[in-house]
Amino acid sequence: MIIAVDGPSGAGKSTVARILARKLGSLYIDTGAMYRALTLKALENKIPVSDEKQINGLAAAVKIDLRNNPDGSLSVMLDGRDVSLDIRQPRITRFVSDVAKIKEVREIMVKMQRELGHKKDCVLDGRDIGTVVFPDAQKKFFIDATPKVRVERRFKELKGLGQDVTINDVENDLSNRDKIDSTRQVSPLRKAEDAIYIDTSDLSIEQVVDKMLEFIK
Ligand code: DC
C-alpha cells in the first residue's frame, strides 16, 4: 500500500508520516530530504543553484539512500555518507526550493521515489506525491496548518536542533519557500482532488496520526 502525504513546509507532515509508517510497518520516504541532499551536494561543489546544467549533472550521478532505523529515525545517506543533520542547515533550507523547481531534477528524483515505493509498502511525504509521483496511491492526505502555527512549529524544531534562528528568519524562509513551491511551473504544491485535507493547527501529533489511521482502516 502506498500512502501519500503532501502539504506546505512546517505543517507537520514529516513527523506524522514517520509515525504513521512505523505504526503500519511501512517504509518512510522523506522526499524533501532527497532534494535537500542534492542541494547540499551542489553547495559543497560550489555550484550555484541557478546553474541548472551542472545541477542536472549532479542529480544524474548522485546516490541518495534513505535508511529507516530501528528506533524510528531516518538516516539520509548522500554517496554513502550520513548527511541527516547537514541537510537541515539554514543554508540548505534557503536554496532547496530553487533546486527542487528544476524540471530535470524533479524527473530524476521522481524516478528514484517510484523505485523506492515499488519495493515495499510505504508512506511518502512531500509536495507532489499524490499528484505526480503516485497519483494512484491508495490513500492521500494533504496536511496543512495556518502560517502562524507553521512558523511556530518550525521555529521550535530548529531551536531543538541547536540552530541560532529568530522567528523572523523562519517566517521569511517559510513564506519564500511557500511562494516558490506553489508557483513553480513543474509539479507545484497542490492538493490532489482525492486527498483527505487535515488542518492540524489545533491538533496534537497523536490526534493527527489517529485521524489518518481512521481513514486508512
Ligand atoms: O519538506 P522539506 O522542507 O524538507 O522540503 C524541502 C524542499 O523540497 C521544499 O522547499 C520543497 C521541495 N520538495 C519538493 O519540491 N517536492 C517534494 N516531493 C518534496 C520537497
Q: Where are the alpha helices (DSSP H) in 45-137?
A: 52-61, 90-100, 103-119
**Burial letters 28-62, b for 16+ CB under 10 A, else e:** bbbbbbbbbbbbbbbbeeebebeebeebbebbeeb
The CATH code belonging to domain 2-212 is 3.40.50.300
Q: How far apart are CA 113 and CA 167, in angstroms?
A: 33
Q: Whose CA is nearest to atom 14 of ligand 1?
A: 127
Q: Whose CA is nearest to atom 6 of ligand 1?
A: 32
Cell triple for residue 97? 526550493
Closest ligand 1 atom to Cα of 6: 18
pLDDT value, residue 37: 98
pLDDT value, residue 19: 95
Cell triple for residue 107? 524527473
| Residue 25, helix vs strand vs coil | coil
Q: How far apart are CA 150 and CA 128, in angstroms?
A: 19
Residues with CB under 6 A from ligand 1: 9, 31-32, 35-36, 96-97, 100, 126-128, 177, 181
Q: Whose CA is nearest to atom 2 of ligand 1?
A: 32
Residue-wise pLDDT for 96-112, tens only, equals 999 999 999 999 999 99
| CA–CA–CA angle 54, 90, 146 (5° rounding) | 110
Evaluate if residue 132 carries a pLDDT over 90.
yes
Mean pLDDT score across all residues of the chain: 94
Evaluate if residue 163 carries a pLDDT over 90.
no
What is the pLDDT confidence band of residue 161, given thresholds at 50, 70 and 90? confident
pLDDT value, residue 177: 87
Mean pLDDT within 136-162: 94
Amino acid at the residue 35: Y
Strand pairing partners for 77? Answer: 65, 82
Q: How far apart are CA 55 and CA 177, in angstroms?
A: 19
Mean pLDDT within 44-70: 95
Ligand 1: distance of its center to the CA of 128 in Å?
9
Candidates 170, 165, 199, 139; CA nearest to 12 is 199
CA distances (Å), 7 to each of 14, 41, 43, 143, 144, in order? 10, 25, 26, 5, 6
Candidates 121, 144, 125; CA nearest to 4 is 125
Q: How far apart are CA 15 and CA 34, in angstroms?
A: 16
Bridge-based pairing state of the strands 139-144 and 2-6:
parallel
